[in-house]
Every structure is written in structure tokens, then in C-alpha cells.
Amino acid sequence: MNNASLDSLLRGQIAIVCHDAGSANIIISWLKKMPDVSVKAHLEGPAAALWAKAFPESPTFSFADVFYDCSMLISGTGWASDLEHNARVRASSEGMRSIAVIDHWVNYKERFIRKEYVQLPDHICVTDKYAYNLVQKIFPEVQVSLMPNSYLDEQVKAINLLTNSTSAFTNAENILYVLEPIRVPWDGGASLPGEFQALDYFVSSTEKITSANSNIKIRPHPSDSEGKYKAWVERQIIQIDISEGCTLFEDIAWSSIVVGCQSYAMVVALAAKKRVICSLPPFAPELALPYAEIEQIRSLRR
């Protein structure tokens, strides 16, 4: 297995282009450990806010200018826009080495296609052995490296510190539901996007999860529009709160159980030794997160 070092990859002046939060978090965690690396960054969407918080003094550049005088591109592989795909196309046209960071375990081919145009990077970086094996199988022509997951380590450390220092977090049955955009229904006859189908399934199945009275809080995904779940929450007959102003590690530290479809936040919670449960309904695809410790509502009994 190719366990690459950051020093061996991040050389020269590097263009950073990210939109979605997942890859951006990983890239930012790497750069924090390498303050002398020379970068020029163009961020949009959730990644822009993450970058501004991590590097408030660092200038950012327009998409047109970020490639100038750079020898390498590092991009995310998100779904929410064409930005990162377009960056890989631009890098290829200029003969610039391109590295893409994958932070999940699903839809690998689709991450590099827009309107039937395929643009693979020269190199793909992943942070666990499951993703490493998947990339090798799906893209045998692309170099792949297993890199350290500094972001996961940072989150788990923060969760553990907060959980251990605040006894209130450990004395209640607090359920955190971590959301992610599915956008389309799994059931062909349904009109609700998958994220709402899973939420409804979760609410109808709370007795499978716990017999105790629970506090329930939902955490919108960074790419969700503001107020997306407000009307849904107001229709529920049980009390459900929406997380506002809390970091992911604060919400996970508050929780005793973390529920979601197949969000990366579930992997963070699992690493922090929380009970983690998948809310994919029976008619949804199989769980893609490669962790046997994750329970599934559809397999639980009352």
C-alpha cells in the first residue's frame, strides 16, 4: 500500500480549489501541519467558510488567477458544484499535475464526470484502507496514496476533551441526527428527497433506537440551504431541535447516539466511540460506510 508523506507530495507552489466541506477539511488539516508550504487558494461554498476560519490572514484568489505560477493543483471531489471538476480540466489543459482528495466511499466515477466529460486527476489521495482499495479497483490507471487523516484525529481529540470535561454530556440520552443531501427519492413512487425519507423513517423508528426519553437534535449538512428543515421540524409531534452555531465536535460531544444515512460525520462519531446508527430505509441502497460497528435501524428490533 502506498503510504505517502505530505512532504513527498506537497511541493512547489500549489493551487487549492475546493467547494464541498469534506475534502476541504482534510486539505486544511494537512496545511496546518505544513505552514511553510506555498499555496494559492480559490474556495467557494462551504469550503470558503472553513478556509476563512482556518487561515483568516491568508489571501484568496479568483478562479482565473489561482493557477498562475503554480506547479500543482489539489482539489476536492464534491457533488454540490462543478468548481473542482473545472479546476481539474484547467490543470490538465495547462499541463499541471493534479491531485484530488476523496473523503468518502461512494460514487467515485461520478465525482470526475460532468455532462459526460471525464477528467481524472493524476493522483488520488484517500485517508483509509477501504477507500484506497476502492480507488485502485475503479481507477487502476491513476496513482493513489493513503494519507494521514489529521482532520479525523483533531475532531476526535476535541470531542473527547469536551465529553470528559462536561458531565452533563454523559448523563443524558441525546440523539444527534447528522444530515446530508440525497436530493432524489430512493422510492420511485415517492416525491420526497431521500434525506427527508430517511428522517421520516428515523422518527417512526425511535423506539427501536432507545427506550428512554431522548433529546433529539438534527444537524444540517454544510451545503444545505438555510431553513431547509424548519417546516419538517414544525410538523413533528415530538420535540426536535435544529443545531445552530455549534461545531461538529460540539454536537457529537453532546450526543450519546449519532444517527444518519452515510455521512462522514458518522465516521467521526464512531472514532469517538459513540453509538452510531444508519437511518437508510429498507428501500434505500445498502450502507456504503465500511464499518461493521455501525448499526442499522432496518436491522434493529423493538
Q: Which residues of 261-296 are buried (b: 16+ CB within 10 A; e: fewer)?
A: bbbbbbbbbbbbebbbbbbbbeebeebebeeeebbe
Residue 69: inside a domain, yes or no? yes
| Same domain, residue pair 141 and 157 | no
Cβ proximity of 253 and 163 under 8 Å: yes
pLDDT digit string, tens, across residues 132-154: 999 999 999 999 999 989 999 99
My answer on whether 172 and 140 are in the same domain is no
167 has a pLDDT exceeding 50: no
Same structural domain, 169 and 249: yes
CA 62 to the chain's CA centroid: 25
Phi first, then psi, for residue 26 (nearest 5°) are -65, -45
Closest CA to 268 of 255, 281, 280: 255
pLDDT at 248 (0 to 100): 95
Nearest-angstrom CA–CA distance, 62 and 242: 34
End position of a domain, from candidates 115, 148, 181? 148
Distance CA 46, CA 51 (A): 9
Question: Can you give the length of the chain in residues?
Answer: 302
Summarize pLDDT for 174-232 with one digit per residue, the tens: 999 999 998 888 886 677 899 999 999 999 999 999 877 889 999 999 889 999 999 99
pLDDT of residue 296: 97
Same domain, 242 and 124: no
Residues 210 and 137 in one domain: no
Band (164; pLDDT cuts 50, 70, 90): low
Residue 155 forms part of a structural domain: yes
The pTM (predicted TM-score) of the whole model is 0.89
Domain carrying residue 206:
151-299
Q: Other C-beta atoms within 10 Å of 120: how many?
A: 17
Distance CA 205, CA 176 (A): 15
